[in-house]
Amino acid sequence: MKLDITYPTVERRRLQRKKLLHIVRWPVLFAALICPVVNLVTGGAAWSIIVLMVLYMLWTLVLSPDLVEYNRISQFIKTIVCTCILLTLIDVFLAPGWAIEVVPIVCFTGLAVAGILFFTDLERQKQNMLPMLLLILFAIAGSVIGLSLWHEESRWALAVMGVFAICLLFACMISLGSEFLRELKRRFHTK
């Protein structure tokens, strides 16, 4: 018996993308190495940390996105989380004082859009519940920590983000019903 093993042909587009990634990889790595060195030599604020975060975002969101969790909710939530981290880094290292109001607004907007993406196609998107659930938990934890540590008058953004995250969590639980626990068991199955 003769076996004829055939492999699918590689698309031209994928080959071009692979070549592009191979070419772009070296300038990105060079920039990632040279920016901290230049920052240390010149002194001043730690702007190289922001540059490294932007390079990470460029690489993981645009040039080489995830292959396993490549769906609209996961990629959007990854963008929101990276943006919140970038805004926090800018606040900590370059211009302090504004991120406590801006990051919760960005996170709230991300929760709202993720909720819309989730509930508009509930049957297909319930399999993508885990990234949204992690963003909800991230928002609740950020709200609780921020409200307990930040004692200024402008805490409304943290409170609104936390309340909206809790409401979105309850909306997910109510709309999915018993499937909510079933989906959680599927995601954390250890056998």
pLDDT, tens digit, 9 for 90 and up, residues 7-50: 666 566 677 778 888 888 899 999 999 999 999 999 888 899 99
- Per-residue DSSP letter, 121: T
Tell me how far apart the alpha carbons of residues 113 and 42 are, in angstroms, rounded to a whole number. 41
pLDDT tens by residue, 123-166? 887 777 888 888 999 999 989 988 888 777 677 888 899 999 99
Q: How many helical (H) and strand (E) elements, i.e. helices and strands, does the chain have? A: 8, 0
pTM score, two decimals? 0.80
Q: Give residue 44's region: left, alpha or beta (phi > 0; psi -120 to 50).
A: left
- For the chain, domain boundaries: 14-64, 70-191
pLDDT at residue 190 greater than cutoff 70: no
For residue 134, what pLDDT is reported? Answer: 87
| Mean pLDDT taken over the chain | 84
Q: How confident is the model at residue 170 (pLDDT cuts 50, 70, 90)?
A: very high
Contacts of 32 (CB under 8 A, 6+ apart): 52, 55
